[in-house]
Amino acid sequence: MTAAGALSVGWLRLVIVEPDLFTAAAEDRQEKDPAGSPLAVRMRPRTLDEVVGQQHLLRPGSPLRRLVGDDGKGGTGGPAGPSSVFLWGPPGIGKTTLAYVVSQATNKRFVELSAITAGVKEVRTVIDGARRASGGYGKETVLFLDEIHRFSKAQQDSLLPAVENRWVTLIAATTENPYFSVISPLLSRSLLLTLEPLTDDDLRGLLRRALTDARGLAGAVTLPEDTEAHLLRIAGGDARRALTALEAGAGSALSKGEKEITLRTLEESVDRAAVKYDRDGDQHYDVASALIKSIRGSDVDAALHYLARMIEAGEDPRFIARRLMISASEDIGLADPTALQTAVAAAQAVALIGFPEARITLSQATIALALAPKSNAAYLAIDAALADVRAGQAGAVPLRLRDSHYKGAQKLGHGQGYQYPHDLPGGIAAQQYAPDEVHGKRYYSPTRHGAEARYADVAERVRARLRGAGGEGTTD
């Protein structure tokens, strides 16, 4: 095989490039046409020492250091590095960058696939090529698989033999929790490295390097402190977003003949920050959880903040409405019986009108629920009753309560002694309703919050009427 070649597989083209030639070609392209690549690509680190942040993964002797060799030239530098590495973290913090650095720093074949476009056929082709290369040319292969969480279970299974037999060095990147999105056999054979969000100091150093580096803006513009602070807020810990915003601001400034990126210029060139939220991953559940907990804690402003994040990220409004309906019963209950009505009405309205107007309906419901008095008594009551039933405390239904409408039921004693409450003063018959095993147990313990105080008084009065009711019915 030539030093740089290409293998066509169906409609997908897998590019296999020797690392040293890849680096040279990339640098040559940047020198010839510095404006041809995005700033984020041009500023991609070439060595582990240039990587921003993630110092917990880059200390001497770390798996990544051993993977590339302590000498940075693919040597062993001690014990052999891992054969499979998972890089887990939010977008824009260096997962792809680390894979490129490893490929460039080692004397190995490098193959990059994206789970968005590749399938089992493409994976097997790479693995077969890796086995031939290791046998015929003595070359090991680094397979970088981006977005691995998009692979199905069967597709992930196809990677197991290659990882198990070390036919390839797998570097897989994911923005989703791998314990949920990656099969256990593959995860157990791999080293999981968690990447931490970049700090403002990390991004500040990156931005200042990009302003002066020859691969970046080469001193063409300057960035005042107030503009830098706003850019850091926009970035939200995402290096790619920070560099993209910087490039947009620099382009606007230079087009106006200015040498300084003013705050106004940056605001004009970057309309708004992208919301850090993944509808299919952890963020989906974390933000939804924060919304409900803020409502439960009666913090209306925090609840509206999380609602806004979900709306801005394009969350399904029906999902938000369902969560509000659950909250209305779980956290408010009879402290405000209208809360569930409000949540159900909001869900129906959302289904009818959709976004963008549905944001107003969801806001109204969120505010109402957040400010409503709180009670989880209904939630605790049903769970306590379920616990007894599951523990086997589900005795026979008292004879007086059993169905007596079918032929022969009266011969079995069904319905005998039952007192019809509507025929009695107050509408209450002091007779035993619960099975003997749970007679006298209290599952519902109302609070004194809001309207539930009234239900608490009623429950006590009724229990007093029923208290002492045994096998025989009495009218009290």
386 or 396: which carries more pLDDT confidence? Answer: 386
328 or 418: which carries more pLDDT confidence? Answer: 328
Query: 191 pLDDT band (50/70/90 cuts)?
Result: confident
Query: 131 pLDDT band (50/70/90 cuts)?
Result: confident
Task: Judge if the upstream peptide bond of residue 398 is cis by omega within 30 degrees of 0.
Answer: no
pLDDT over 60 at 274, yes or no = no
User: What structural domains and CATH numbers belong to the chain?
Assistant: 4-194 (3.40.50.300), 200-269 (1.10.8.60), 282-371 (1.20.272.10), 377-466 (1.10.3710.10)
Give the angle 328-333-339 at the CA atoms, nearest 5°.
45
pLDDT over 90 at 82, yes or no = no
Question: Could you tell me how far CA 333 lies from the centroid of its own chain?
Answer: 29
The reported pLDDT for the residue numbered 75 is 43
The reported pLDDT for the residue numbered 271 is 64
Give the chain's length.
Answer: 476
The reported pLDDT for the residue numbered 257 is 92
Q: Please choose, from the candidates 387, 421, 383, the residue with its C-alpha nearest in 3D space to the C-alpha of residue 401.
A: 421
pLDDT in tens, 443-464: 888 888 888 888 888 888 888 7
DSSP state of 197: P
The reported pLDDT for the residue numbered 408 is 67
Across the chain, mean pLDDT equals: 78
At position 124, the amino acid (one-letter code) is R
pLDDT in tens, 367-395: 999 999 999 999 999 998 888 888 888 77
Q: Please choose, from the candidates 401, 397, 398, the residue with its C-alpha nearest in 3D space to the C-alpha of residue 419.
A: 401
Least confident window among 64-68, 166-170, 257-261: 64-68
330-348 average pLDDT score:
94
The reported pLDDT for the residue numbered 253 is 92
Query: 12 pLDDT band (50/70/90 cuts)?
Result: very low
User: CB–CB of 274/241 below 8 Å?
Assistant: yes
The reported pLDDT for the residue numbered 112 is 82
The reported pLDDT for the residue numbered 97 is 80
pLDDT over 70 at 132, yes or no = yes
224-252 average pLDDT score:
87
Percent over 90 (pLDDT), the chain:
20
Q: How far apart are CA 277 and CA 316, in angstroms?
A: 13
Sign of CA dihedral 122, 123, 124, 130: positive
Percent over 70 (pLDDT), the chain:
80
| Spatial CB neighbours of 24, under 8 Å, sequence gap ≥ 6 | none
The reported pLDDT for the residue numbered 341 is 95
10 or 189: which carries more pLDDT confidence? Answer: 189
